[in-house]
Structure 1
Amino acid sequence: MSSGPDPRHDRPIFVLGCPRSGTTLLQLMLHSHARIAIPAETKFVIPAYARRCEFGDLEDRDNRRALGEWITSERSTKFHVLGLDAGEVVDEIVAGPPTMGSAIGTVFRAYARLHGKARWGDKRPSYFRHVGTLLRMFPDAQFVHLVRDGRDCVASLMEMPWYDKDVHHAISAWREAVDRGHRLAERLGPDSYYEMQYERLVADPVDELTRLCAFLGEDFDPAMPHPEGIAKRTVSPRKKWHGRTHDAVTTNRVGSWAERLDPWQISLAEAAFGERLAEYGYEPSGLPKPPASQLARFTRTSTHRRLAQRKAALRERWKQHHEPNPVESRLTPQNTVTPAS
C-alpha cells in the first residue's frame, strides 16, 4: 500500500466559472473520483485570506489557534458541511506551518483524509475573480473553468431565490468570467488552466472527464459520470436549485434560455456578449438588436462593476504591503497527519 499521497499528484484543484454554469455538477463528478475530494461550497478561503492582517503574526501559536477557531466556528464559513471535528482541525492548524495557505490547506487535507482521498480541491464559481489570491497561497494549483452558454447562465441566475441583482449584472458576470478565463489561459498555460464546456460535459461525460483527468494527471474513474448517488447524500434538498444533480446527467436544460428569457433580455445578452458566444459554438437567436436605452443601462452597470473591481484590487495591493506573514502554503506530504490505522 502507498505510504501517502504522491507529491507529484497532490496539486490543489479549484473549480470556477460563472454562477449557474454547472460547477456543482462538476464538483460532484470530481468528488466521485477515488483520489479526489472536493466538498460542497465552503465560504472561508477568500474571507480568511482577506482578514489575514487581523489575525496577526501566525508565528504565534495563539494567533494560529484564533484563525483555526474562526474557520471552524464562524457560521458564515460553512465549515460544518465538511463533517470534520473542529477541535482536531484547530489543533492541526496550530501544529502546522505559520502561513494562511497552510492553515486553509490543512482543512481541505483533513477533508480529503476523512474520505480516504490523496488529493483535495474546492469549488466556488466566484473563484474566477480570485485566481491571483489562490495562486499566492497555492502556487502549484490547477484551475478548471466550466463555461456554459451565457444565455442559459443568465436565465438560471434570474430564477435563483438568492440572486438579488438584475439582468444587467447577470450578463456582466458571464462576460467577466469568460474574459477572465481567456487571460488566465494565457497567463497560466495548459499545465495549470483547463477550460471545458457544460454542453459537451453533459452530452458525453466519459470523453470530457477522461480529458479532464489527463489534465489533472489522474486516471479516469468510471464512477465520475454518475455523480447522482453522491449528490443524494451531500446536496441538501433545501437547495432546490441543485435538485437536478440528484438525477442522471442529462442534456435537457441545454438551450432552455429560449423559453426562460424575454426576447429583449436575449437580444441584450447577445449584444453584450458579442463574438464570445460564437467562439464557443453557441448559435445566435436571430432576434433584432436591443433598444439603445437598454444597451446604455448595461454599459453603466458594466462600468460600475469594473470600477468596483479596480478599487478592490488597489485595496488588496495595500494589504499585501502590510500582511504579517508570507501566505504561501508550506504543507508537504510530511506535514500531513496520517489517521491512526
Structure 2
Amino acid sequence: MAAQDGPILIIGTERSGSNLLRLVLDAHSRIAVPHPPHFLRYLSGIPYDGDVDAMVDDAMRLLRHHIHPWPHVIDRAAVTRAAGPSLFGVVSAIYDQYRVAEGAARWGCKSTFMVEHVDEVLAGLPHARFLWLVRDPRDVAASAKRAVFGPCHPYRMAERWTAEQELARAALERWGPSVVHLVRYEDLVSAPEREIRAICDFVGEAFEPAMLAHHLGGHARMTASLSASWRTAGDPITTARIGAHRRGLTDRERRQVESVAARAMETLRYPFDPASRAEPAPGQFGVALRGLAVRLAVEARSLRTDRNHFRRWRRDATVHRLRRRARPGRVRVPAGESR
C-alpha cells in the first residue's frame, strides 16, 4: 500500500464532532468513511487466540446489527481471504471492501475508541494516519447528557475524555506529528477551509471544495435521519455549538468536569475556573443514580424519535451475547462500560 493510500482514523472522544469530520472526509472523491460498527471497541476483549474465522463471524454479526446500516453488502468469504491474522486485520479487510464498493482510493474510520489501538493499527498498516479530534470537555459532557451513546453523567464523561486525551497525546509523542495530527473542534468549525486544508496536507490529499458542503451529500442526510443524537450531521458547518455547556450543564456539573479534566484542559488550551480543582468528587451512588435517571429520559426520547432505536438495542444484545460466550473472566471490558 502506498503512503498516500493509507487509512485515515479519527481518534479522541465521542461527542467531539467526529460525525462532522467523518462526513467532511467522506465528501472527498478519494476517501470513503462509513459510520463505524466499532469492531475493536466491542470485540477486542474477546480471546480469539488467532481464530480468524471466529473473528470474521463476530465482526459480520456486528455489521448485520449495525445501528447505521452500510449501503454495500460485505462478502464474508472475501473478508476471510483478505484478513490478516489479527482482529484489526479483519476490520481492515471489511473497510477495504467498503472502499472498493465506494470507488475510493483509501478508507477512513471514525471510531474514536481506536485511540486505544494506535500501535496495533500501525503494526499492520504503517501508512495509517490519525486525526486526533479534541473538543472542550464541558461541551462533550453537555452533548453526552442528551445522547444515547456513552455515559450520560458529566463526571463519568469527563473521566473518559481525560483518559482518551492522555492516550492520544501519548500516541502523538510516540509517533510524531507526521502520523498523528491534532484537530481542535473549535478551530474546525470557526475556520473550516483553513483547517480542512491543513488536514488534507497532513493526509496527503488535495483539498476539494465539496468537503465544505458535506451536509449536502446523501450520507449526511441518512445519518441525520436515523437518530436525534446525529441530527446535526445534516447541518452546514457552524460555530453554534461552541460553548454548549453554558446551556447544557449546571454550575456544579461544570465544576465536576473541570475538576477531572483540568490538567488536560490546560495542556489543550481550554480555559477553566482554577477553583474547580477543589470541587469534591461526587459519590458513586449519586453518580449512578443521576446517570440512570438521565439515561431513562434519553432512552424515552430515543424511543419516540430515533429510527434506529431497536437496532441499537439489538446491537447491544449482540455484544452482550458475544462477550458472555467468551471464556469466563477473560473478557476485557473497555473503559466506561459495565459487564
- The answer to whether residue 176 in structure 2 is matched with residue 198 in structure 1 is no
Deviation string, structure 1 residues 78-98 (Cα, Å, up to 9, x no partner)? 297222224xx2221233355
Within-5 A mapping of 1:25-44: 25-44=20-39
Task: Report the counterpart of residue 237 of structure 1 in structure 2.
Answer: 225
Distance 1:83 1:107 in 2: 13
Shift of 1:23: 0.6
Q: Residue type matched to 2:212 in 1? A: P
Q: TM-score, normalised by structure 2?
A: 0.75
Task: Report the counterpart of residue 82 of structure 2 in structure 1.
Answer: 96
Distance 2:44 2:255 in 1: 39
- The question of whether the paired residues in 2 share the 8 Å contact of 1:270 and 1:284 is answered with yes
The structure with the largest helix share of the pair is 2
- In structure 2, the CA distance between the partners of 1:103 and 1:260, relative to structure 1 (3 Å rule), is closer
Distance 2:14 2:102 in 1: 27
- Name the stretch that deviates more: 267-276 or 122-131: 267-276
Deviation string, structure 1 residues 281-319 (Cα, Å, up to 9, x no partner)? 333357x54765x33758xx9xxxxxxxxxxxxx799xx
Distance 1:202 1:192 in 2: 23
From 121, 128, 151, the counterpart of 2:115 = 128
Distance 2:162 2:232 in 1: 25
Deviation string, structure 1 residues 186-210 (Cα, Å, up to 9, x no partner)? 1011111111100010011110010
Distance 1:98 1:284 in 2: 45
Distance 1:147 1:52 in 2: 31
- The question of whether the paired residues in 1 share the 8 Å contact of 2:141 and 2:153 is answered with no
- The answer to whether residue 208 in structure 2 is matched with residue 256 in structure 1 is no
| Number of corresponding residues | 288
Distance 1:118 1:75 in 2: 22
Distance 1:241 1:235 in 2: 10
Task: Report the counterpart of residue 280 of structure 1 in structure 2.
Answer: 268
- In structure 2, the CA distance between the partners of 1:173 and 1:214, relative to structure 1 (3 Å rule), is same
- The question of whether the paired residues in 2 share the 8 Å contact of 1:43 and 1:77 is answered with no
Q: Residue type matched to 1:264 in 2? A: R
Q: Residue type matched to 2:244 in 1? A: S
Within-5 A mapping of 1:144-155: 144-155=131-142
Distance 2:30 2:210 in 1: 12
Task: Report the counterpart of residue 336 of structure 1 in structure 2.
Answer: none
From 8, 30, 36, the counterpart of 1:13 = 8
Task: Report the counterpart of residue 291 of structure 2 in structure 1.
Answer: none
Secondary structure at the aligned position of 1:16 is classed as: strand
- The question of whether the paired residues in 1 share the 8 Å contact of 2:259 and 2:278 is answered with no
Deviation string, structure 1 residues 5-55 (Cα, Å, up to 9, x no partner)? x72311111111112110110000000111111101223244455446266
Shift of 1:274: 2.1
- The answer to whether residue 170 in structure 2 is matched with residue 157 in structure 1 is no
- Name the stretch that deviates more: 237-246 or 75-84: 75-84
Secondary structure at the aligned position of 2:38 is classed as: coil
Q: Residue type matched to 2:216 in 1? A: G
Secondary structure at the aligned position of 2:132 is classed as: strand
Distance 1:149 1:120 in 2: 28
- The question of whether the paired residues in 2 share the 8 Å contact of 1:10 and 1:119 is answered with yes
- The question of whether the paired residues in 2 share the 8 Å contact of 1:264 and 1:290 is answered with no
Distance 1:274 1:226 in 2: 35
Distance 2:38 2:131 in 1: 19
Aligned-pair identity in percent equals 24
- Name the stretch that deviates more: 203-212 or 164-173: 164-173
Q: TM-score, normalised by structure 1?
A: 0.75
- In structure 2, the CA distance between the partners of 1:75 and 1:220, relative to structure 1 (3 Å rule), is closer
Secondary structure at the aligned position of 2:183 is classed as: strand
Secondary structure at the aligned position of 2:148 is classed as: coil
Task: Report the counterpart of residue 93 of structure 2 in structure 1.
Answer: 106
- In structure 2, the CA distance between the partners of 1:193 and 1:98, relative to structure 1 (3 Å rule), is closer
Secondary structure at the aligned position of 1:227 is classed as: helix
Distance 1:274 1:79 in 2: 34
Distance 2:108 2:241 in 1: 27
- The question of whether the paired residues in 1 share the 8 Å contact of 2:154 and 2:256 is answered with no
Task: Report the counterpart of residue 295 of structure 2 in structure 1.
Answer: none
From 69, 72, 77, the counterpart of 1:81 = 69
Q: Residue type matched to 1:140 in 2? A: H
From 56, 70, 90, the counterpart of 2:58 = 70
Distance 1:137 1:251 in 2: 37
- The question of whether the paired residues in 2 share the 8 Å contact of 1:232 and 1:246 is answered with yes
Deviation string, structure 1 residues 141-200 (Cα, Å, up to 9, x no partner)? 211111111110111112223444522211111111222222111101111111110001
- The answer to whether residue 179 in structure 2 is matched with residue 184 in structure 1 is no
- The answer to whether residue 206 in structure 2 is matched with residue 214 in structure 1 is no
Distance 2:68 2:245 in 1: 35
